[in-house]
Amino acid sequence: MHSEIQSRLANGSILRKRYKILSLISDRSSFGITYLAEDLDLPENHQCVVKHLKPNNSNSRVVEIATRLFKEESRHLHKLGEHDQIPRLYACFEEKNEFYLVQEYVEGNDLCSEIRSGRLWSEKDTLEYLKEILNVLDFVHQEGIIHRDIKPDNIIRRQCDRKLVLIDFGAVKEINNTTIDVRGEELLTVAIGPNYMPEEQRRGIPVLASDIYAVGFIAIWGLTGSPDVVGWTNRSNVKVGDDLIRILERMTDRDHQRRYQNASKALDAIERTKIVVNPSIQPTIWEKFKAWW
């Protein structure tokens, strides 16, 4: 939750005489508050998402930094929205030192709910997930942008076509989490689920390969049904081929220099991977990972 209590917009509120707030989607993150809204300027009750962002405090230096970040990340989101599997940015504006993003509404369920349904991914499922999300991430990385918050909650399986959509880029969260130290220098902190954040990102120096780490961990959760390393010991029935094991080991290596350095390089490895024909003869994923971890 945001460190300060941030006032919610009431249902029926209208922003800029255009975006009518319909309901609260979420206020349980460092991102701010997210609403489902209606664009009154478009026909057929066109729905969109409004994200309300507010810096941690009203210090003029903090507001200055947050404004710069907002403008910079809005440009990035506008560019990234050209990809069919990244939400389009419709509008961005500032009012009273608070910031608003209006984005495409993606109807569907996130991978978190899908994985928690209880059905473990097969090797084929896992490879399909890796190929699809890495293709989207390749577009992001080609722009020199690090997502920084890849986790199952931020990958939506779109209802209309079952494609995976990548949402909620971590850099935007810095607007809410901007603080300054005693020397007036900016400090940026973004809270992300521990299993998906590699060590270099914890230290505040994320790289493109940090996203690869997170993508790999989601694959492991899908295969095993457990997001925790310790949980793998109880998944002795999970069987995958050596090629995929090697890829996941490299994707989630603690040393970012030993990982695939970007989505394109990870995709190249995935494309060369053979799907297991007879998984019953394969070693379990835990037998492969336990020594490494």
Whether residue 160 lies inside any domain: the answer is: no
What pLDDT does 60 receive?
80
187 pLDDT more than 80: no
pTM for the full predicted model:
0.84
The enclosing domain of 25 has a CATH number of 3.30.200.20
Q: How many domains does the chain have?
A: 2
Buried b (16+ CB within 10 A) or exposed e, 244-260: bbebbbbbbbeebeebb
| 171 found inside a domain | no
Residue after which a domain boundary falls, among 104, 119, 142: 104
Whether 128 is covered by a domain: the verdict is yes
Same domain, 249 and 128: yes
Decide: helix, strand or coil at residue 51: strand
Residues 89 and 119 in one domain: no
- Regarding whether 288 and 197 lie in a shared domain, the answer is yes
Whether 177 is in a domain gets the answer no
Identify the weakest region by mean pLDDT among 34-38, 157-161, 207-211, 272-276: 272-276
Whether residue 113 sits in one domain with residue 99: no
The residue among 69, 104, 139 that closes a domain is: 104
Q: Do 18 and 143 fall within a single domain?
A: no
Q: Is 243 exposed, middle or buried (0-12, 13-18, 19+ CB in 10 A)?
A: middle
Checking 196-203 for CB contacts under 8 A at 24+ apart, the result is: 196/149, 196/150, 196/151, 198/254, 198/256, 199/254, 199/256, 200/256, 201/148
Give the span between the Cα atoms of 5 and 2, in whole angstroms: 7
112-148: burial string, b at 16+ Cβ within 10 Å, e else:
bebbeeeebbbbeebbebbebbbbbbbbbbeeebbbb
Contact 139, 290 (CB under 8 A): no
Active-site entry in 39, 149, 168, 211: 149
Rounded to an integer, what distance in angstroms lies between the CA atom of residue 37 and that of residue 101?
A: 12
Asked if the structure places residue 176 within a domain, the reply is: no
Alpha carbons 104 and 127: distance in angstroms, whole number: 28
Do 260 and 115 fall into the same domain?
Answer: yes
* CATH number for the domain that contains residue 127: 1.10.510.10
Q: Kindly indicate the confidence band of residue 67, based on its pLDDT and cuts at 50, 70 and 90.
A: confident
Alpha helices for 144-230 (secondary structure H): 170-173, 199-202, 208-224
Last residue of a domain, one of 104, 124, 142: 104
For residue 209, which of 288, 156, 263 has the smallest C-alpha distance?
Answer: 263
Three-state DSSP state, 23:
strand
**Residue 84 and residue 141 in one domain:** no
Within-domain flag for 7: no
Q: Indicate if 100 and 112 belong to the same structural domain.
A: no
Catalytic-residue membership of 149: yes
Are 122 and 264 in a shared domain? yes
Instruction: Compute the average pLDDT of residues 260-266.
Output: 98
What confidence tier does 265 reach under pLDDT thresholds 50, 70, 90?
Answer: very high
User: CB count, 10 Å around CB of 263?
Assistant: 25
The answer on 126 and 94 residing in a single domain is: no
Residue 159 lies inside a defined structural domain of this protein? no
Residue 3 in domain: no
Residue 71 vs residue 261, higher pLDDT:
261
Distance CA 24, CA 35 (A): 5
254 & 229 share domain:
yes
Name which of 224, 200, 203 is nearest 214 in CA terms.
Answer: 200
The verdict on 31 and 52 lying in the same domain is yes
Least confident of 27-36, 57-66, 156-165, 233-242: 233-242
Question: What DSSP letter does each residue of 62-93 carry, written as one string?
Answer: HHHHHHHHHHHHHHHHHHHTTSTTSPPEEEEE
- Banded pLDDT at 118 (limits 50, 70, 90): confident
- Give pLDDT tens digits for 277-287: 444 444 444 44
Which domain does 238 fall in, by range?
108-151+192-292
What mean pLDDT do residues 251-272 have? 95
